[in-house]
Amino acid sequence: MSFNLKKIINYWRELSDYDLITAEFLFKAKRYPYCLFMCHLSIEKLLKALIIKFTKKHAPYSHNLVDLAKKTGIQFSKEDKILLSDLTEFNLEARYPEWQKEFYSRCSKNYTEDYLRKTQKLQKWLKKYL
């Protein structure tokens, strides 16, 4: 299958940026669970851009950031692997009613701010590989 590599990588990068800006606005609006969900989406889309760059193939249909990170071939620190695992959980916990109540109760301002800061840092680091 043939596709414009630069165009599709840029598409995923731009979506990642948009989602992180959205997360920042949601944080300011005190919509903490949704802020964390957008943090997940931002990193997911950036990882997909990196997979495409390195494999020259379309990114897999997956929301698991740990699995996506492995497919990039990039060496992640232990702390970043933990962050990727936590962000993956935010994707599930924000979406499914059986987990939402407990998840929402954890999403304090400090908790959310910490993950937003970590996401911003990870996104900036990952962009160096683009």
61: domain CATH number is 1.20.120.330
pLDDT band at 94, cuts 50/70/90?
Answer: low
Q: Are 65 and 16 in contact (CB under 8 A)?
A: no
pTM value surpassing 0.85: yes
pLDDT at 20 over 80: yes
Percent of the chain with pLDDT over 90: 86
pLDDT of residue 17: 98
Per the structure, the count of domains in the chain is 1
Q: How far is CA 3 from CA 42, 63, 71, in A?
A: 23, 22, 19
Q: Mean pLDDT in the chain?
A: 94
114-122: average pLDDT: 98
Name the residue range of residue 58's domain: 5-127
